[in-house]
Structure 1
Amino acid sequence: MQPSRTDAVSCPECGAPAPFRGTAVSLVCEYCGSTVVRTGVDLKLIGKVSALLDNGSPIVLGAKASVDKVPFEVVGRLQLRHGRGTWNEWFINFADGGVGWLSDAQGSYAITRPREKSIVAGKVPAYSGCALGQPIVVQGVPYVPVERRVASYQGAEGCLPFAAVPGDRYYSVDLRGHDGEFMTLDYGERPDHREPTLYMGRAVDLLAIGLHPLRKFAGWARGGPPA
């Protein structure tokens, strides 16, 4: 797999290298914890990120794998809080130039990639109308909403495609198909519209897709949660 393209710039806060990768818009400086946002050739700071919680994820930045014969690399992590728990969304760069997310929640993993909004715009309910267990048909495939979340950003590391400000909230619905299909409808900061950002993909097993390296935990042998 070819390494991701990096741009040689420095953190405006501490002067350390700030290796933006691909289409990344923001990154968290690994030396001082500042969030650096790139707009064209300009860089700006939006403050320090909140501390990431160790929620037992085996995934690490720089891990590589392949899905559907397309290699990818994990380049960033967004940690989100919902209720009393947290989960991770790992930002990934694909060798074909595309991007995606590796969802990591309680030992369940799924990889999704952004799709055209027109696929669902005006064809799916608003956030409040997505009833758990009631199928929504997208491109002829029935997807069942399995979780609705109002989440806030807990913290971040590495490179991300947008500036994640700790405390900002967003609304989303996760849906599953009968053959491992996985879909997320991201309504952003407003739940009262029917044009969510669409991500589609499928559930994965970390070892089956060859993700490496992985953090090691006593008793952890498969792609599920640590013991």
Structure 2
Amino acid sequence: MYAQEIQCPSCGAGRTIRNPGVITIVCEYCGNAVYWDQEKIANAGKQSILPEGFSRLFRGATGSLLNKRFCVLGRVRYSFGRGFWDEWFLEFESGEIGWLTEDNHEFAYEKAFPAPNVPPISKLSPGTRIAMNDKPYIIEEVGQAECLGVEGDLPIRMQSGEKYAFADGSTPDGQYTLGIEYDHDPPTVFLGRWIKYASLKLDEPGEW
């Protein structure tokens, strides 16, 4: 089983990382974010303390999603100006990882998708149609996201105050979701599907 021991460069607290995809951790003792790889560790600074989410999800929560067992490793909270949403980083028993987006009690499960030919943000607006992975999508929202805070273990470099442009959409039947984050070049694309709350089952403490 994969396990990497590191120490927080700010307070010296030890931490065991068990998922090889994790590159950002937030120290649970001092609240500093730490970027790391196999060669170096960098202190990314103090992070905002996040309040509870909309639902019963929390870092360390376990349960099942679409009948697959998972553990919540981390969370990012974003603002889009008129409100905010949470993105929960999940690890499944199989080793699969993904994101559960939670926005005003609505859930979508998404995974990163390699898409080299993503239109620039200037070409997208509500109603624009694009194709991804052989499916048509309609752009529903274009805006700017600001990170309000991070916690736990994450597979991305992110910290409070970072901003990037984004575009969200779904298939014409409303079943599948598309998220484009213009945080890198090329942008990061996430494809997924809407999840009914009944498909998300959380354990009681001690069940994992």
The more displaced of 88-97 and 101-110 is 88-97
Q: Provide the alpha-carbon RMSD of the alignment.
A: 2.4
Shift of residue 33, structure 1, vs aligned partner: 0.4
* Paired residues of 2:8 and 2:34 also in contact (CA < 8 A): yes
1:161-200 deviation line (CA, Å, top 9, x unaligned): 122132111111111121511111122167xxxx422211
In the alignment, which of 8, 11, 33 is matched to residue 14 of structure 1?
11
Q: Is the 8 A contact 2:35 2:42 kept in 1?
A: yes
Give the Cα–Cα distance (whole angstroms) in 2 for the partners of residues 137 and 95 of structure 1.
Answer: 32
C-alpha spacing 1:131/1:183, structure 2 compared with 1 (3 Å): same
Determine the structure 2 residue equivalent to 1:183: 178
Identity of aligned residues (%): 30
1:96-135 superposed matches below 5 A: 96-118=94-116, 121=117, 124-135=118-129
TM-score, length of structure 1 as denominator length: 0.79
Whichever residue aligns with residue 64 of structure 1, its letter is T
1:139 aligned residue: 133
Distance 2:111 2:133 in 1: 16
Counterpart-to-counterpart distance in 2, 1:162 and 1:138: 22
SS of 1:210 mapped into structure 2: strand
* 1:213/1:136 CA distance change after superposition, 3 Å: farther
Pairing partner for 2:188 from 185, 191, 197 = 197
- Letter of the 2:160 partner, please give it: P
Q: Return the alpha-carbon distance in structure 1 between the equivalents of residues 202 and 169 of structure 2.
A: 24
Name the CA shift for 1:13/1:174 in 2 (closer, same or farther; >3 Å). Answer: same
Where structure 2 has 5 or more consecutive residues not aligned to the other structure, the ranges are: none
Shift of 1:48: 0.3
The TM-score normalised by the length of structure 2 is 0.85
1:168 to 162, 180, 186: 162
Are 1:20 and 1:26, in contact at CA under 8 Å, matched by a contact in 2? no
* Structure with higher strand content: 2
- Structure 1, unmatched stretches of 5+, are 215-227
Q: 2:58 & 2:86 partners in 1: Cα distance?
A: 11
